[in-house]
Amino acid sequence: MEIRREELQGKRIVALDFGLRRIGWAVCDELHLSVTPGGVLQYRQADFWERLQAILTAERAELILVGMPAGSDSPRTAPVIAALRQFVAQLRQRFPLPVFVYDETGSTRQAHETMRQLGIPRKKREQRGQADRMAAAVILWSFLQELHTWGRVSEEPL
């Protein structure tokens, strides 16, 4: 699947950085000029889906962007990729919004570097969830940059 810039004009996007325990989220404005790291949801929490619904509603999301590491079907990452595929399937089943899977390769490393460059103290950078929410922002920013540069973005295969 491919998405074009025109299809997203004026639409807010919520990006999710999937993890087996925590899912970081970020949102952009309608003009796609700014990205704001949101927070972190505990994936195994009983009310996870309700909390995610509340965020999507509050942020007026019209697209859910999910990061997926491209080409990482190694034995070490296979369980995470399998859980991510199941997560995307559940998103598509539970919410009426389009769900788009985008390459997130290197987003966590870039999130740590961005926090360091912003002068965020090490102790704060190492707090649980900080890298997850910043990685979601990195994923969304990368997606928007590609969208603005090329006018279209291809979805990662599941």
Model pLDDT, residue 136? 93
Let me know if residue 21 belongs to a domain: yes
Let me know if residue 120 belongs to a domain: yes
Let me know if residue 85 belongs to a domain: yes
pLDDT higher at 121 or 82: 82
Tally of domains within the chain: 1
CA-to-CA distance for 72 and 54, rounded, in angstroms?
32
Give the torsion sign (CA, 12, 50, 101, 139).
positive
Let me know if residue 98 belongs to a domain: yes
Tell me the pairing of strands 22-28 and 35-42: antiparallel
pLDDT in tens, 91-123: 999 999 999 999 876 556 665 566 566 666 666
Let me know if residue 146 belongs to a domain: yes
pLDDT in tens, 123-134: 665 656 668 888
Let me know if residue 158 belongs to a domain: no
Model pLDDT, residue 151? 95
Let me know if residue 107 belongs to a domain: yes
Q: What is the CATH number of the domain that holds 48?
A: 3.30.420.140
Let me know if residue 99 belongs to a domain: yes
Find out whether 21 and 131 touch, Cβ atoms under 8 Å.
Answer: no
Q: Which domain holds residue 72?
A: 2-150
Among 1-15, 62-76, 91-105, the range scoring the smallest mean pLDDT is 62-76
CA-to-CA distance for 72 and 81, rounded, in angstroms?
8
